[in-house]
Amino acid sequence: MANITRNASAVWTGAGKDGQGQLTTQSGTLAATAYSAGMRFGDQKGTNPEELIAAAHAGCFNMALAFQLSGAGHPPERLETRADLTIAQEGGGWRITAVVLDLKAKVPGISRDEFQKLADGAKANCPVSKVLNADITLKAELE
């Protein structure tokens, strides 16, 4: 398979704390979507880079696990994952330190051990997990 390239762009105007930006994705899902320091570090409504990374991680993990389960003969009925991403101040900057993937899954006919093995594999091998320099943990519940 050929390489695949996706893109997004960001525009920022003004100073860090009082400035504001806009995010646009190739797909158009985000189109000049506002972001700011208040959205990132405070309670102001809107998106921020860490929220988008958490969404990407949850989605990537679910898709990787769906492929793993299907390949093992257990296509899932439902995978619901919440990604809780932690950003912490270190020295003069910030770093993503941890992501907790909290999975609730409905997968008929699979043993708990096989499910956990496949979920752990998806966590380790989804492309977003591989790119993050953070402690990634998984809480997996089979319904």
Per-residue pLDDT of the chain (143 residues; tens, 9 = 90+): 689 999 999 999 999 889 999 999 999 999 999 999 999 998 889 899 999 999 999 999 999 999 999 999 999 999 999 999 999 999 989 999 999 999 999 999 999 999 999 999 999 999 999 999 999 999 999 99
Residue 38: its pLDDT value, please?
Answer: 92
Residue position matching structure tokens 């991403």:
85
Residue 69: its pLDDT value, please?
Answer: 98
- Sequence-distant (6+) residues with CB within 8 A of 77 are 106, 107, 108
- Sequence-distant (6+) residues with CB within 8 A of 61 are 81, 83, 101, 103, 122, 123, 126, 128, 129
The H or E element that residue 105 is part of is strand 93-106
Domains and CATH numbers, the chain: 8-41 (no CATH), 49-142 (3.30.300.20)
- DSSP H helices, 14-93, are 37-41, 49-71
Q: Which residues pair with 24 in a beta bridge?
A: 9
Q: What is the CA radius of gyration of the chain?
A: 18
Kindly list the strands in the beta sheet with 8-13, ordered across the sheet, starting from the edge strand earlier in the chain: 8-13, 20-25, 33-35
Cβ(63)–Cβ(52) below 8 Å: no
